[in-house]
Structure 1
Amino acid sequence: MSDGTPPAETSSSPEEVSPPNTGPQDPLQTASATDRMVIEYLRARGHTSAEQALLDALDSGDPDDKGKGPETSTISTEELVKRLAVYAQKPSRPGENVLNDSGNVLQELTTMGNPTNIQNLIASIGAVGAEEILSLDPTDKQDGFTELEAWVDGSLDMYRPEFRPILFPIFCHFYLDLIQSGFKEAALKFFKTFASPLAPAHSATLHHLSTLFLPSHVQNDDLAQRFRNEKYVVRMSRSGFGLLIGWLTEGVGGEATGAGEGFSGERGKRGRAAVMRVVNNHLRFDVTASNTSSVSPNAWEESTGLLSSLIPQANGASANLTNPQVFNSSNGELKLGPAPVPEELRLEAERVLREQAVVERDPSVQYDSFSLRPAVQGVVAPSESDLPPLPPTFKTIDVNREVEKVRDARKRIRLEPSALTSVDLNSPQSGAARARALPSICAYTLHDAGEGAPCSTFSADISLMAAGFAESYIRIWSLKGEKLKGLRSDFQASSIRDSASIQKIREKGGSSTRKLIGHSGPVYSLSFDPLSGSAGPPKYLLSASADATARLWSLDTMTNIVAYRGHQNPVWDIQWNPMGIYFATGSRDRTARLWSTDRTSCLRVYAGHLKDVDCLKFHPNSLYLATGSSDWTARLWDVQRGSCVRVFIGHQGTVSSLAISPDGRYLASAGEDLAINLWDLGSGRRIKKMTGHTASIYSLAFSEESSLLVSGGADWTVRCWDVKGTGGPVVKPRENGSMGNGDSTIVRYGDGDNNETTDLLSTFPTKRTPIINVQFTPRNLCLVAGTYQTPDSR
């Protein structure tokens, strides 16, 4: 990772006072009359989680109140209705309270057969409704967040990126507090007022929270309970943390321009107290020793969030970790170098290359054998014993594949993104620089796709393209215009003697496209087998579907030959291992699985993600498998041991796509937060964050030199990124009248009009076509595919 990411040093939070431990007591015996009635109501209605939460709260209450005996004072009508109403909702309209008025309260409690004293108490209540009581607006949350936002915006430029991440968890807890207390209207007003600035980075979570309207929603929602039960980790420098504590305790520093009396006064104290409660109870600070000015603005959001359940427990650790770097470093060094070529296969490939050199009368061809497996500096290369089991002997197809790799390396177009960094794009030399830096992109557009095509892929030799459709079928096209002829089924096996006899039993007719039918749900992912490489067309195709199966298709017979069952939910992604023998699947059941084509049951189950495994990618040397999940994390797994060896935390949304560089060093991950993160696989640290897309990112691909990254997404664009560039926010000229120390530039943090980072080399727009797949050929031609959306489409 770059020097901008600080190491975590200590964990701090504002000082808290723990109550002394007293002897165990039944909290119901010491509860007030109000609390007892609420507990009886919750117990009768079956709200066990709410009942337990209230009992726990009573049990951990003020120790001075314990032992005083039950409270005998009467309660007000409004208090009772308020306590009861917030726990019920209308079955027909889930967003509304069923106990909207006292008549409903009495009717509901009467049908329950509750004790007579409660019914008599409810019967004496006048015409007062729960909505009238709940409409009272608690202003401490509104005031507290307004003041916190003003303090962050009024802080120095160097501290502002460091302070911004604290706004999101406090916003979430304030909203959940309002909903939990029954203040629905106040919560909606709070959400509408403050959610917009947080939406670009946290749109998925904010949308989820906006669907919670009642305490019952909060109690039954997994994400809300994670916010309640886990500490949200925030990274800060030592000086920044000191400023935050100063503001929370004294209200000093960071006053925005024109703020009048500032944060003093009773309203200011009340708002800061509300923020302090969230900070004390729900946040955990990782304070670093790094200087604020030496840290990249985007680095502060890395390794923040609800981390304790996302990080696997390290070997021998007794407590949950909250720093992913501790886990990553505990797993030791990875073997990221290229996989070795078996000695017999290498010698045979070299022999073929020497023969070709004689035939082509080009002596230099035989020296290309050194590029069979080029060495990668700075990484540990695996040995043959480290690789998954391989067949004991190689075939002619393996030799042809290795020979073609050498030819591809010789004829490959070298892409040099650095050529654009020192050239004025408006100058006459810009055309030559762009030709050196940017790839040629060939786009294939699907028209009249009906319900849509969720996936597509190309074969390595660019002879075939396949697309999976929501109508449960697969279509294959010949990109060379050749007829796709399958083998007939009306033949005797004894009649097959050689390759010539196989050609005789092929279909006479045919077309350049074929339709494969077998799935009973939308097809979400496809993958051609890599056995032939670029030396010839593939023999097999894998597919994954919503019907919870993966299927293997023969491209000789154009039929389904195996169905792999094991997942219990839709299978989102499927990928061949680079060796072509194994493949992996990722599913909604929160697992990834390793399969072999000759077995119908899985070989390994990779479990640990908290939500769907949405995407996966094998490392080029086949030792590791990367997975991306809806829990906002990516993980790297040891393929053979089945254990997680790296965890990557930094996205603020579902991880939708992954790519691993051909040199094995880098992992690129794209998320629903519209950001692409570049990770160093060896250390597990984030190198940089790349932004520019304005809608979901569907696919990523590295160039063969690992110097360029191409992405495609729902914003109808293909974008090219400089992998080696430093990145960071766009630097703009300093405005007239601004004061500085001679520096002529200023970085605009949080500029909402243009979020493109400096490593975005070029953007290629399409005609209303979301790009669902991008991939490079071995010679660095970029192929993309997408489905055209008509103007009247949904």
Structure 2
Amino acid sequence: MSTPGPPAGAQSTPDANYRAILDYLAKRGHHKAALALSADLEGSLSRQGTPAPGPGPVPGGGKAVPLDDFAERNAPSAPRQPSAPPGQQPQQQGQGQGQGQGQVRRRMDQSVAPGHMLADPPSWDKGYAGLRLFVENSLDIHRPELSPLLLPLFVHSYLDLVLVGYRDAADHFLARFAPDHAPLYPGLVRLLASLRLPSHVAENEQALRWRHERYHVRLSERGWGLLLGWLQGGGLHGSSEGTEGRGRDRVLAIINERVKVDDYASLSRGGAPPAPYGADGTAPELRLGPGRVNPQLEREVRRRLKDAGEEEDDAVGEGAGAKARGREDKAGGADGEGAEGAGGGAADSAGDAAGDGALERKPTLDAPSSSSAAAAANDAKAASTGGSTTDAQLISPFPAELPPYPSTFRTLDVAREVERVREARKRIRLGPEAYAPEGALIPATRGEGGGALGAGLLGERGAEGRARGAREDQRRGVGKPSVCLFTLHDTGDSLSTVTFSEDSTVMATGFTESYIRLWSLDGKGLRALRTDLKEDEVDKIRDANDLSKLYHPDAPQTRKLIAHSGPVYSLSFDPVPGPASPPRYLLSASADTTVRLWSLETYANLVVYRGHREPVWAVEWGPRGVYFATASRDRTARLWITDKVNAVRIFAGHLSDVNCLSFHPNSLYLATGSSDRTCRLWDVQKGHCVRVFIGHRAAVQVVRCSPDGRYLASAGDDGLVLLWSLATGLRIKTFHGHTAPINSLAFSNESTVLVSGAADDTVRVWDVATPPGEGANPSDVPSAQGAGGTPDLLATLATKRTPVLEVKFTPRNLCLAAGAMREAAPPA
């Protein structure tokens, strides 16, 4: 028990000196030294029979703290005593507690004070703030892998303060550091704000998951070494003392108990990322299903269709589809004669092929419609390649797993989805069955559930097909793809890239002369908003009829965009308007290491994105806008948000230039192709490489994910097109036939047909839906490039002298292609 303090006049007594020393140590933050001194002092005085110094005034105005209170306040809490059985008296407390302190003191959380740390609320703030400063000051190559540590540190530091009972400190911590995570994790921040008592944490399922399950973070050897160096004080003497040192102890405790750090070879030293397969040799499961549609958006779309009388009226779609099919079937030649134009050249169009068309009826808003033959092929392919038979049942991602998107929808979103439904009703269903010989029947084997297991052309397997199941004419309702080729004249070798808008009204071309040229494909011209409006003119605009005054009266058929200082290598239109209206924005990538965002309403440059250190080879919008990705010669791909000028993810792992990329339809994954002859699939949220595809013999120049999310097609300088299963990571087919590098790939909307455009002046159509033959090896290719052909080659559409740079399917399954005509060779 503490005794009363000495009289005021006894200022030179040893007790007053000891109290002054303890007070000084406490003020300077040396709590461990103060606790050790008080323990030694108490032990020495008890042996001498002298009472321990008690509270009282000390010289200098300091406040003396009783040793029992000091130890009670700063020493770690003892574990909670188990409740006594009925009829048994609870265990008596120590002599240092009064009558009002008979109940057991609340137990600290085990992760709060490991190693008997002192209870110091500011240490959590110091620990998190120090780690954040350490991550922000790290090099660019290490910051992406160190940043994920901040989220678990933020969550567990707040939960620790709540569980210990420091309510005010927890509120201060949340108010100070919540803005770091609110943009990406608004739901989590709101959840933490609602947890104000230990009982709240114990009753919340998500909070318990955070406390009981470890948060996984991957660090390279170099990154882990840097983190350990910071945790050990960075080599600064005395830096482990006081609140700052205890803050690092907090961080270390949370990492040890709440975070699982997976170490892998440092990428900066040429190491490879973790293998994409588990210990049993199987590929990790991916969430390749379609993302969840906003229920409110879906209801609004159905209401719009119902109001228009189109909800169940298939006749409307059939009539429009027949008209569209008739127009497309009229397409005929390869290269048309076009008028010469100023600047970048003139564009003309003509069809390359024609075929019978049919309609895809009653599409749903939730996922792209697909034919039964496509579903049949998936199971057969999985079986033939040794993959899982559950490949056909794709797992959809949870909303929390997808990149953050706006929670509300706009009128533009409704118009886009309504138009997609209408276009899908008018769509021509494509498939390899359309190329079957006249009179040939296609065998289709049905499973127990009624689903088709496979469909193939009759030939050598005809007898086997008849033995397996009933024969059906699958050619009915399936059409051949029609290709409309746009040829640019008088461009020489300056044309470097071409792309089409989703509504097929605008074509953009990039040139090595550092400029972009836009073309109007619907004849309406490219109208621009006026930037010279005066105040009195704005006041005169009162209704929709006056909106035309906002635009320039002239609408040229082509416009030129100038801002880059190097060749333009890639272009990408804003996907948000979809087929409902022309795009509003355009992204361009250039050799000047920048990416630029252009407004297609004012035709001016809005934003410049800098971050790559080498030329940027490719740029592509995400399926829902907001995000876009870039690929560069600096061996990295990067993820960007349009309203931030810095990249939010860096995907490092390729050993050479990253030449191309493609988003998965659900936005959760990003595929990249490189000059190191490999393709990789990345998790967009975590930044991890989840698949590595090896099989090309030369640089990969183009990759494309199928609309149904099952396949990845890749092609490059070796003239081969490889088809991969994203679920299993295995190669399904190898398409060979091109005799020059391949520049572009495009899947049909049902993912049953693949079209490729190459520098050999041809467009080729490949069969995706038909499973490979029994015993066929997907890696078998002819010894000489272009020798022979593959059974999966459905058609070869030759142009006159036009290397094809771009191929793209419209929502109605019309294929658009573009290229620049080569000059004729001089006569011998």
TM-score (norm 2): 0.52
For 1:224-259, what per-residue CA distance to the aligned partner results, in whole angstroms no more than 9, with x for missing partners?
Answer: xxxxxxxxxxxxxxxxxxxxxxxxxxxxxxxxxxxx
CA distance in 2, matches of 1:751, 1:650: 16
| Partner residue, 2:604 | 559
The Cα of 1:455 is off from its aligned counterpart by 0.6
CA distance in 1, matches of 2:782, 2:670: 35
Does 2:477 match 1:441?
no
1:323/1:608 Cα in 2 relative to 1: closer, same or farther (>3 Å)? closer
Of the three residues 737, 759, 778, the one matched with 2:792 is: 759
The Cα of 1:328 is off from its aligned counterpart by 11
Q: AA paired with 1:561?
A: L
Q: Quick check: 1:544–1:550 contact (8 Å CA) kept in 2?
A: yes
- Counting only pairs closer than 5 Å after superposition, residues 582-731 of structure 1 correspond to structure 2 as 582-726=627-771
Q: Secondary structure at 1:404's aligned position in 2? A: helix
Q: Secondary structure at 1:620's aligned position in 2? A: coil
Q: AA paired with 2:288?
A: L
The Cα of 1:451 is off from its aligned counterpart by 3.8
Does 2:383 match 1:389?
no
The Cα of 1:517 is off from its aligned counterpart by 0.7
Q: Secondary structure at 1:534's aligned position in 2? A: helix
1:536/1:730 Cα in 2 relative to 1: closer, same or farther (>3 Å)? farther
| Partner residue, 1:454 | 496
CA distance in 1, matches of 2:735, 2:496: 25
TM-score (norm 1): 0.54
| Partner residue, 1:373 | 367
CA distance in 2, matches of 1:670, 1:709: 12
Q: Secondary structure at 1:357's aligned position in 2? A: coil
1:479/1:729 Cα in 2 relative to 1: closer, same or farther (>3 Å)? farther
The Cα of 1:531 is off from its aligned counterpart by 0.5
1:782/1:364 Cα in 2 relative to 1: closer, same or farther (>3 Å)? closer
The Cα of 1:534 is off from its aligned counterpart by 0.6
| Partner residue, 1:512 | 557
Q: Quick check: 1:545–1:571 contact (8 Å CA) kept in 2?
A: yes
| Partner residue, 1:200 | none
Q: AA paired with 1:344?
A: Q
- Counting only pairs closer than 5 Å after superposition, residues 272-421 of structure 1 correspond to structure 2 as 332-357=284-309, 368=362, 370-373=364-367, 377-421=392-436
380-389 or 696-705, larger mean C-alpha shift:
380-389
CA distance in 1, matches of 2:786, 2:684: 43
CA distance in 2, matches of 1:728, 1:671: 25
Q: AA paired with 1:622?
A: S
Q: Quick check: 1:469–1:523 contact (8 Å CA) kept in 2?
A: yes
360-369 or 667-676, larger mean C-alpha shift:
360-369
The Cα of 1:681 is off from its aligned counterpart by 0.2
1:702/1:315 Cα in 2 relative to 1: closer, same or farther (>3 Å)? farther
Q: Quick check: 1:452–1:787 contact (8 Å CA) kept in 2?
A: no
For 1:470-521, what per-residue CA distance to the aligned partner results, in whole angstroms no more than 9, with x for missing partners?
Answer: 1111111110111212112212576576655542121122311111111111
Q: AA paired with 1:398?
A: D
Q: AA paired with 2:817?
A: V
For 1:589-644, what per-residue CA distance to the aligned partner results, in whole angstroms no more than 9, with x for missing partners?
Answer: 11111111111111111111111110000000100000000010000011111111
Q: Quick check: 1:327–1:646 contact (8 Å CA) kept in 2?
A: no
Q: AA paired with 1:786?
A: G
The Cα of 1:727 is off from its aligned counterpart by 5.2
The Cα of 1:383 is off from its aligned counterpart by 2.5
The Cα of 1:751 is off from its aligned counterpart by 6.5
CA distance in 2, matches of 1:328, 1:353: 50
The Cα of 1:748 is off from its aligned counterpart by 10
- Counting only pairs closer than 5 Å after superposition, residues 231-310 of structure 1 correspond to structure 2 as none
For 1:326-379, what per-residue CA distance to the aligned partner results, in whole angstroms no more than 9, with x for missing partners?
Answer: 699676211101111111111111111111117997799899474443588411
- Counting only pairs closer than 5 Å after superposition, residues 17-36 of structure 1 correspond to structure 2 as none
For 1:697-736, what per-residue CA distance to the aligned partner results, in whole angstroms no more than 9, with x for missing partners?
Answer: 00000000100000001000000000123458999xxxxx
Does 2:531 match 1:489?
yes
CA distance in 2, matches of 1:563, 1:384: 31
| Partner residue, 2:808 | 775
CA distance in 1, matches of 2:781, 2:615: 43
CA distance in 1, matches of 2:668, 2:767: 27
Structure 2, unaligned runs of 5 or more = 1-260, 266-270, 319-360, 370-374, 376-391, 441-457, 460-473
CA distance in 1, matches of 2:651, 2:311: 49
Q: Quick check: 1:418–1:722 contact (8 Å CA) kept in 2?
A: no
CA distance in 1, matches of 2:278, 2:670: 21
Q: Secondary structure at 1:454's aligned position in 2? A: strand
- Counting only pairs closer than 5 Å after superposition, residues 119-138 of structure 1 correspond to structure 2 as none
The Cα of 1:405 is off from its aligned counterpart by 1.5
CA distance in 1, matches of 2:781, 2:604: 57
Aligned residues: CA RMSD: 3.4
| Partner residue, 1:281 | none
Q: Quick check: which has more Rg, 1 or 2?
A: 2
Q: Quick check: 2:588–2:595 contact (8 Å CA) kept in 1?
A: yes
CA distance in 1, matches of 2:632, 2:280: 25
Q: Quick check: 1:444–1:785 contact (8 Å CA) kept in 2?
A: yes
Does 2:537 match 1:543?
no
CA distance in 2, matches of 1:520, 1:410: 44
For 1:284-331, what per-residue CA distance to the aligned partner results, in whole angstroms no more than 9, with x for missing partners?
Answer: xxxxxxxxxxxxxxxxxxxxxxxxxxxxxx956789799865699676
Q: Quick check: 1:730–1:748 contact (8 Å CA) kept in 2?
A: no
Q: Quick check: 2:519–2:559 contact (8 Å CA) kept in 1?
A: yes
| Partner residue, 2:515 | 473
For 1:546-598, what per-residue CA distance to the aligned partner results, in whole angstroms no more than 9, with x for missing partners?
Answer: 11111111110011111111111111000000011110000011111111111
CA distance in 2, matches of 1:317, 1:581: 32
Q: Quick check: 1:690–1:728 contact (8 Å CA) kept in 2?
A: no
Q: Secondary structure at 2:680's aligned position in 1? A: strand
Q: Quick check: 2:739–2:786 contact (8 Å CA) kept in 1?
A: no
Q: AA paired with 2:503?
A: D
How many residue pairs end up in the alignment?
462
1:705/1:363 Cα in 2 relative to 1: closer, same or farther (>3 Å)? closer
Q: Secondary structure at 1:333's aligned position in 2? A: coil
The Cα of 1:420 is off from its aligned counterpart by 2.5
Q: Quick check: 2:762–2:798 contact (8 Å CA) kept in 1?
A: yes
Q: AA paired with 1:332?
A: P
1:360/1:331 Cα in 2 relative to 1: closer, same or farther (>3 Å)? closer
Structure 1, unaligned runs of 5 or more = 1-313, 732-746
CA distance in 1, matches of 2:733, 2:580: 36
CA distance in 2, matches of 1:626, 1:504: 44
Q: Quick check: 2:739–2:785 contact (8 Å CA) kept in 1?
A: no
Q: Secondary structure at 1:609's aligned position in 2? A: coil
Q: Secondary structure at 1:625's aligned position in 2? A: strand
1:503/1:610 Cα in 2 relative to 1: closer, same or farther (>3 Å)? same
Q: AA paired with 1:763?
A: T
